[in-house]
Amino acid sequence: MNQTKVFAHRGFSSQYPENTMAAFEAAVKANADGIELDVQLTLDEVPVVIHDETLDRTTSGSGLVQSHTVEEIKKLSSGAWFSQTYKNEQVPTLEEVLVWSKDQSIVLNIELKGQISDRYKAASIIFPLIEKHGLEEQVIISSFDHKVIALCKEQAPMLETAIIVFAALFEPVPYLRKVDTLGYHFYYKSLLNEEIEDLIKRGIRLRPYTVNDDHQIKKFIQLGCEAIITDHPKKAVDIRRYYYN
Ligand code: G3P
Ligand code: MG
């Protein structure tokens, strides 16, 4: 059985400002296997790494991400809200993260956020960017918007994909087949252990989010999930080391 991977949710977001280079670098240092990051388009259609639809919570700016140009967004601090230590952090562009990741042995789980009306636009910008940097083997594209995941398979079939789900699906296997993906990123409280075991047996790549509690981390490792998505990558790596040794 393969070791369960540890994906750092928004980077090492329990100790660093989420979705910043500081959080991504810290995740690599903590020996995470992957980084989950949220991507949406600016007004001038540049993919940037930020979770919320608005700038208010995690930057020094305010208003919708999609109403600002990348130049405007780049002037903001994306770390000061967390601590003055990180006041010089900026909202990364996806391309900055892609370029940085080339020298890291880390999986990038790119979660596509943003407007449903932007699906085709996002796909036509983001997938070629991944190909341009030769990172097809290093990324997993995921989204709560399952239409964009199906679109990914049509437009960039070589990319690994996953759907994100909050409440359990009624018949996940035929549904996943229909969307043409094996990746199922589920809210960690939404599936029973026997459902998880059954899905793993059927070849589904399960990655629960956001798993921060020690017992839950251990449980998903024991069950054999492909990865866990956590704000505490260092702790998860330590728990995993203990479990496999
Ligand atoms: O990708 C899993 C998880 O990040 C989905 O929820 O809101 O943290 O992006 P959210
Ligand atoms: Mg996310």
- Residue-level pLDDT at 68: 98
DSSP per position, 33-82: SEEEEEEEE-TT--EEE-SSSBSTTTSS--SBGGGS-HHHHHTS-SSTTT
Ligand lying closest to the C-alpha of residue 166: 1
- Which residue did the predictor score with more confidence, 125 or 117? 125
Q: Considering only 32-36, 112-116, 168-172, 192-196, which range has the smallest mean pLDDT? A: 112-116
Whole-number Å distance between alpha carbons of 164 and 166? 7
- Residue-level pLDDT at 231: 99
Mean pLDDT taken over the chain: 96
Residue nearest to atom 3 of ligand 1 (CA): 209
185 catalytic? Reply is: no
Q: What is the pLDDT of residues 186-233, one digit of tens each?
A: 999 999 999 999 999 999 999 999 999 999 999 999 999 999 999 999
Whole-number Å distance between alpha carbons of 31 and 94? 21
- Residue-level pLDDT at 52: 97
- Band of the pLDDT at 1, cuts 50, 70, 90? low
**Taking the model in full, what pTM does it have?**
0.97
Residue nearest to atom 6 of ligand 1 (CA): 209
Which residues lie with the beta carbon below 6 Å from any ligand 1 atom?
9, 36, 38, 51, 111, 142, 164, 185, 209, 229
Closest ligand 1 atom to 142 CA: 1
- Band of the pLDDT at 115, cuts 50, 70, 90? confident
All structural domains of the chain, each given as residue ranges with its CATH number in brackets, are: 5-244 (3.20.20.190)
- For 46, list phi and psi in degrees, rounded to 5: -105, 125
146 catalytic? Reply is: no
Helix (H) or strand (E) run with residue 227 in it: strand 227-230
Nearest CA to 217 out of 239, 194, 245, 189 is that of 239
- Band of the pLDDT at 2, cuts 50, 70, 90? confident
